[in-house]
Amino acid sequence: MAKAFVGSNPTPCTTKMREKFKGCLLGTAVGDALGSSRGEFSGRWTDDTHMTMGLAQSLVERGGFDGEHLAWTFLRNYEREPWRGYAPGPPTVFSLLRAGVPWNEASRHLFGGRGSYGNGAAMRVAPVGLLYHDDPVRLREVAEAQSLLTHAHELGREGAVLQARAVSLALLAPPPSSFDPFDFLEELESFTSHPVYLEKLGRGEEDAGGGGQKGEGGEGAGERGGGLPLRPHRPLLLPPPLRELQRGPPLRGGAGRGHRHHRGHDGGPERGLPRGGGDTRGVEGEGGEEGGAGGAGG
């Protein structure tokens, strides 16, 4: 059984680091709202930001990871604003929680017991990468534990772990003028032993070296045409003017969903996004989180 409470002593951070934290989370919301807009920017963020906020809220309130607390934080947030665009998976998990199923077992009931390997656990994991940026062991532990609440499949969990690690590396990365994408991807490779992710990260290195975007959906890898819940190399392929707008690796593959780790809070808009009305469209990455492990919900 997964631990109910792990990673309880996060390292204090400096004022400068706090600004980077704010910049990452604000960039998540802005990028989410941009990615979910159709033509005209609405300022409405989706379940991606909703669950990211819930994870951050729980980590702060409990001083670290508490699975039971996180589960009910997610559930209450969903019940207050179910129109954020949730795929069927999380509401199914929440119903099981209401029925008394433990938080670390509910997601195992999805997809015939295989669990979802969509990108939902990765898309919300930024707070874990921020809080445990200087403790890779605890980062892995907490990133995987928070994943289990909705994504029991090993690919969904490992994708979230690597995405959290990508956030932590971006947080500590040098300025863009001296940033080396190969070093970044090699660091991620060293953080996993899963053959599927090792192959995809290897393709990312080829992409960064000018080999073309052939990592965008190769064979044998995840849902819906080979997509996996990890796309850390895509910003490295952007031309210099766009890299200035998307310096940190995205949490996931939605359009326009960049994170301003280097600029911090001061580099983004001065005001928060309006909560807005209901966007009922599920925005769970390219192809949708609905793929799961072969069905709806994630």
Instruction: Please report which residue ranges of the chain form alpha helices under DSSP H.
Output: 15-36, 47-62, 67-80, 89-98, 120-123, 126-131, 136-148, 154-171, 181-189, 195-206, 240-243
Q: Distance (Å, rounded) from C-alpha 172 to C-alpha 65? A: 22
- Domain residues for 161? 5-289
Q: Distance (Å, rounded) from C-alpha 72 to C-alpha 179? A: 40
Q: Report the relative pairing of strands 5-6 and 65-66 from DSSP bridges.
A: antiparallel
Q: Distance (Å, rounded) from C-alpha 39 to C-alpha 255? A: 13
What is the number of structural domains in the chain? 1
Per-residue confidence of the chain (298 residues) as pLDDT tens digits? 344 444 445 545 678 888 899 999 999 999 999 999 887 888 899 999 999 999 999 999 999 999 999 999 999 999 999 999 999 999 999 999 999 999 999 999 998 888 998 899 999 999 999 999 999 999 999 999 999 999 999 999 999 999 999 999 999 888 888 888 889 999 999 999 999 999 988 887 777 665 544 333 333 333 333 445 654 544 444 334 334 333 433 334 333 333 333 333 333 322 333 333 333 333 333 333 444 433 333 4
For residue 11, is it within any domain?
Answer: yes
Q: Distance (Å, rounded) from C-alpha 36 to C-alpha 46? A: 7
For residue 296, is it within any domain?
Answer: no
CATH number assigned to the domain comprising residue 125: 1.10.4080.10
For residue 41, is it within any domain?
Answer: yes
For residue 294, is it within any domain?
Answer: no
For residue 194, is it within any domain?
Answer: yes
